[in-house]
Structure 1
Amino acid sequence: MIKRQLVSILGVLVTTAFLLSGTVSAATLGSRSLSLGSRGQDVREVQRILAQNGFSPGQQDGIFGPRTEQAVVAFQRTVGLPTIGIVGPRTTASLLAHRAIYTVVRGDTLTSIARRKGTTVAELKAANKLESDFLVAGRRIIIPGASTSAVTTPSRSRLAITREERSTLARLVHAEAQGESFLGKVAVAAVVLNRVDDARFPDTIQQVLYQPFQFEPVLNRWIYKPAGEAAYRAVDAALAGQDPSQGAVFFYNPQKAPHTWMATRPVILRIGNHVFMR
């Protein structure tokens, strides 16, 4: 009798465990917080979005391991969220927003992207304000009809950019923010893009960069030195709408220029050695 009861109880426990494991594996992204050790389809979706946006989560196996945690931290740092390595509500919202952004790879055409994403070439051009069919590998483009949120600045993510502009901006970021965190590099790139959007400054990236007496690397010609891979990733992050500078159009390093007139401007925040201002 006792043995039969034990077998019955064991059967219930096994069945319950099986059902619970099935529930976890079928969980949808946003239904729970994810952290090291989590498993399920929602973890796989996080890994897919991270990989699509240039962050390396390791194998997309639905297991939240150390590499996935590192990728989450890198993503959080890039979009300006607390770098805790946990996918909570805010990180989930940002990840879901980035499903609306596609990174162009070599060989892509507007036609092939439109076919894969279920849209049209005309809608892609309209959403991204593209005047030609020319695409640069590495550029992030908006997929019309997908969900977006406040982490992406519409005017920013639709900014057309040539290969030359991307290269020049990356070289400026490399020269200005070498030794800074990735977040600091993205912020420097964002300042240039903010100037393009600001009526007080020129209307193109090249014109902003070469406006007289604006950027020291242009004056000392460091802008002609090759940029590192991190600088290009920072430029792409800024083009995708990420702005850690919070709309700044000026920045400076008070340790290098302690008496600059910029010290009189309204300060937004400080990232690393740079102070960002309106």
Structure 2
Amino acid sequence: MMKKVFSTLAVVCCMVGAFTAQQGNAATTYTYYKVQKGDSFYKIAKKYKTTISTIKTLNKRKSDQIFAGETLKVPVTVKATKTVSTAKPSITAEERKLMAQLVQAETGSSEPFAGKVEVALVILNRVKSPAFPNSIKGVIYQKTKTGYAFVPVKTGKLTRIQPTKQDYAAVDEALALFPKDRRGSLYFYNPKITKDKWILSRPVTIRIGHHVFAK
């Protein structure tokens, strides 16, 4: 349901940068893709309906070697005639509660309201990104090599969380802001706790409270 709504939004609203190449009457932009085990330039090119040479040029690569965990720029073509929708995406009551639960689990009462909103935006941005699952539930319960993408899910804490009115308000605010969100935050972490070199290398979008948000 969410994917259908998101597909009406112009990709240029959330792309992390512009790629100047033109293909006929279509404008080309790019997004980031995290390389998975078993990936190759061929597989990635096929997935994004582009060519190996285009991806290599975009990433200034000459070798055919890529490594699991690294991030590559991949082109995304959008028809120039596509219109931009600023409509607030609609979600189910179940999805709204699930988002509010994660917001509460990740921010508690120690983070400012703006930080809660940005956590909710991370979920929405992941749903829209081709590098993540295409539903709210899929994003929140995404499995990784270490268990799950979000610690509260990994520990089993999420299902016991009772979100507050502020958490629900943060989700609603994120939904209202999402169509025009240009930061495109996809990750967040506490720099005093996180030691993962990959996440620490991501481009920072904003710092709020104890969290650093990145893409």
TM-score by length of 2: 0.54
Compared CA separation, residues 226 and 157, structure 1 to 2 (3 A)? farther
Deviation of the 1:241 alpha carbon: 1.7
Match of 2:158 among 219, 223, 234: 223
Checking the alignment, whether the CA contact within 8 Å between 1:190 and 1:245 is kept in structure 2 is: no
**CA RMSD, aligned part only?**
2.4
- SS, match of residue 199 in structure 1: coil
Paired with 2:206 and 2:134, the residues of 1 have a C-alpha distance of: 25
Structure 2: which 5+ residue stretches go unaligned?
A: 6-83
Q: Which residue of 2 aligns with 1:205?
A: 136
Matched, 1:161 2:98: no
Deviation of the 1:185 alpha carbon: 0.3
Deviation per residue, 1:79-136 (Å, 9 max, x gap): xxxxxxxxxxxxxxxxxxxxxxxxxxxxxxxxxxxxxxxxxxxxxxxxx95xxxxxxx
Paired with 1:177 and 1:191, the residues of 2 have a C-alpha distance of: 13
Matched, 1:275 2:205: no
Which has the larger strand fraction?
A: 2
Q: Which residue of 2 aligns with 1:81?
A: none
Deviation of the 1:183 alpha carbon: 0.3
Structure-to-structure mapping, 1:188-199, within 5 angstroms: 188-199=119-130
Deviation of the 1:260 alpha carbon: 4.9
Paired with 1:254 and 1:245, the residues of 2 have a C-alpha distance of: 23
Checking the alignment, whether the CA contact within 8 Å between 1:246 and 1:268 is kept in structure 2 is: yes
Deviation of the 1:268 alpha carbon: 1.6
- SS, match of residue 268 in structure 1: strand
Checking the alignment, whether the CA contact within 8 Å between 1:196 and 1:204 is kept in structure 2 is: yes
Matched, 1:248 2:185: yes
Dislocated runs of 4+, deviation >6 Å: none
Deviation of the 1:255 alpha carbon: 1.8
Deviation of the 1:228 alpha carbon: 1.1
Aligned residues: 128
Compared CA separation, residues 192 and 232, structure 1 to 2 (3 A)? same
Checking the alignment, whether the CA contact within 8 Å between 1:184 and 1:272 is kept in structure 2 is: yes
Paired with 1:161 and 1:233, the residues of 2 have a C-alpha distance of: 14
Matched, 1:235 2:171: yes
Higher relative contact order (CA 8 A, sep 6+): 2
Matched, 1:176 2:111: no
Which has the larger helix fraction?
A: 1
Compared CA separation, residues 236 and 258, structure 1 to 2 (3 A)? same
Structure 1: which 5+ residue stretches go unaligned?
A: 1-127, 130-153
Deviation of the 1:271 alpha carbon: 0.8
Compared CA separation, residues 202 and 183, structure 1 to 2 (3 A)? same
